Amino acid sequence: MYAAANPAKTGLTGAAFRYRRPKFDRLLGGCAWLYGYPVRAEPNGARGGAAENAGMPAKKFEVDEAHEDAAVAWARRKETIRGALKLFRVLLDAARRHAEWVEARHGIGGTHLWVLWELGQSPGMRAVDLAKNMAVHRQTVENLVRELQEKGLVRVEAAAQSPIYFLTSDGQSIADASPEYGQGVLKAALERLPDSALGQVVDSMRALSECLPFREDRAALKPLADILRASAHEPTRQAHAGHRQANLEN
């Protein structure tokens, strides 16, 4: 962009020589900076003598390094945000794929498989114990167990405080078929993280959730499969609502 010159011939050295403006700068009327060219005004007499610059105010249009650093930092920040969005999509897609795989292979949902996995590890658990391990409501666990009981995969025995649950032979077979991902792929991935990385993930996600619009804290105790299923059916519900509104107007 800048014309090469011999310092000995121009009499310019250092910064003045490095920022010497080319001939097209004069053609633009000394306003090359308006077109995005970083320029620095030269000392009087450096080009054409003092007569050429007589009556001209001395101005400096220097490269603002701080501004350039801020622009680079902002570009990196936007790229980081795009990368984070891609990672969230990968996480949710992995959870969805696992749920579809479980349903296609065993005919139950991913959350149902998690119940079977927990009972396979610790037979005789109560609803409150399952709810704590799975981070869901107790009522959610009781509903899941009832559905599994109807499929012949779980049996319930009366106990002093509350019923306790055991796997049937069929339920044990399903639990044994998925020993690694019985708790879900996200839980399995979190289990593999070292303590330091796990703490960073929790801190970062907590900070992110505090900035999240449309945040609903009650969703923290909902099974992820239910949340993904609800989002998948949302367009259908919106379409039905639109049809109902149209029928009312007609």
58 contacts 41 by C-beta, under 8 angstroms: yes
Within this chain, do residues 155 and 46 fall inside the same structural domain, yes or no?
Answer: no
Q: Which amino acid is it at 74?
A: W
Within this chain, do residues 41 and 145 fall inside the same structural domain, yes or no?
Answer: no
Could you tell me if residue 225 is inside a domain?
Answer: no
For the chain, give the mean pLDDT: 77
pLDDT band for 242, please (50, 70, 90 cuts).
low
- The number of domains in the chain is 2
Which CATH number covers residue 117? 1.10.10.10
Q: Which residue has the higher pLDDT, 180 or 135?
A: 135
Tell me: pLDDT of 8 over 60.
no
Q: What are the phi and psi torsion angles at 129 (to 5°)?
A: -70, -45
For residue 190, give both structure tokens. Answer: 């979190």
Could you tell me if residue 201 is inside a domain?
Answer: yes
Least confident of 25-39, 83-97, 128-142, 145-159: 25-39
Least confident of 10-24, 76-90, 137-151, 186-200: 10-24
Q: Which residue has the higher pLDDT, 28 or 157?
A: 157
Q: What is the mean pLDDT of residues 176-203?
A: 92
Within this chain, do residues 106 and 189 fall inside the same structural domain, yes or no?
Answer: yes
Could you tell me if residue 230 is inside a domain?
Answer: no
Could you tell me if residue 141 is inside a domain?
Answer: yes
Render pLDDT for 70-89 as a digit per residue (tens, 0 to 9).
889 999 999 999 999 999 99
Could you tell me if residue 214 is inside a domain?
Answer: no
Among the listed residues 169, 180, 193, 111, the one whose alpha carbon sits nearest the alpha carbon of residue 145: 111
76 contacts 114 by C-beta, under 8 angstroms: no
Answer with the one of 190, 206, 222 that is the final residue of a domain.
206
Answer with the one of 169, 189, 206 that is the final residue of a domain.
206
Within this chain, do residues 37 and 150 fall inside the same structural domain, yes or no?
Answer: no
Within this chain, do residues 85 and 36 fall inside the same structural domain, yes or no?
Answer: no
Within this chain, do residues 38 and 91 fall inside the same structural domain, yes or no?
Answer: no
Highest mean pLDDT: which of 14-23, 194-203, 232-241?
194-203
Within this chain, do residues 93 and 31 fall inside the same structural domain, yes or no?
Answer: no
For the full predicted model, state whether its pTM sits above 0.85. no
Could you tell me if residue 17 is inside a domain?
Answer: yes
Could you tell me if residue 60 is inside a domain?
Answer: no
Instruction: Write down the residue that tokens 């749920």 correspond to.
Output: 99
User: Domain range for residue 12?
Assistant: 7-52
Within this chain, do residues 18 and 97 fall inside the same structural domain, yes or no?
Answer: no
Could you tell me if residue 237 is inside a domain?
Answer: no
Tell me: pLDDT of 248 over 70.
no
Within this chain, do residues 104 and 190 fall inside the same structural domain, yes or no?
Answer: yes
Q: What is the DSSP string of the chain?
A: -PPP--HHHH---HHHHHT---HHHHHTTS-GGGGT----PPPTTSSSHHHHTTTPPP------HHHHHHHHHHHHHHHHHHHHHHHHHHHHHHHHHHHHHHHHHHSS-HHHHHHHHHHHHSTTB-HHHHHHHHTS-HHHHHHHHHHHHHTTSEEEE--SSS-EEEE-HHHHHHHHH-TTTTT-HHHHHHHHS-HHHHHHHHHHHHHHHHT-TT--GGGGGS-HHHHHHHHHHHHHHHHHHHHHHHHHH-
Least confident of 29-43, 53-67, 188-202: 29-43
List Cα–Cα distances, 195 to 10, 186, 200, 202, in angstroms: 64, 16, 9, 11
